[in-house]
Amino acid sequence: DNNWVDVLDSGALPEDDVIGVEVQGRDIAIYECEGEYFATDNICTHGHARLCDGFLEDGEIECPLHQGRFDIRTGKALCEPLTEDIRSYPVKVEQGRVWLQLE
């Protein structure tokens, strides 16, 4: 209901790490940060790079191509060369699974 999609075993994502998953044809990045999970689109808003190949630190993901950084909680673009925020998605963990709300 409400379009929650089961995307991942929560044990599949190590602490403070990011993984790319395909969800209903979309490329999504799932993040773990201090026991909480977050999700954004995986393709950078600046160019064709996958954020899951980037560097996650202190709740920020750094794009591997030109080192733009997004806040993983909100998708907010934090520095140049980014000009556009990235879409973020609501996430919940239930029964050991990570769920994502697409709409």
| Binding-residue pattern over the window 58 to 97 for ligand FES, x denoting contact by CB under 6 A | -----x-xx-x------------xx---------------
- Which one of 5, 49, 78, 93 is in contact with ligand FES (CB under 6 A)? 49
Contacting range for ligand FES; rule: CB under 6 A; set: 24-32, 39-47, 71-79, 87-95? 39-47
Distances (CA, A) of 83 to 19, 75, 76: 24, 12, 10
Assign 52 to helix, strand or coil.
helix
What is the rounded CA–CA span in Å between residue 32 and residue 13?
7
* Residues that bind ligand FES in the complex, under the rule CB under 6 A: 44, 46-47, 49, 63, 65-66, 68, 81-82
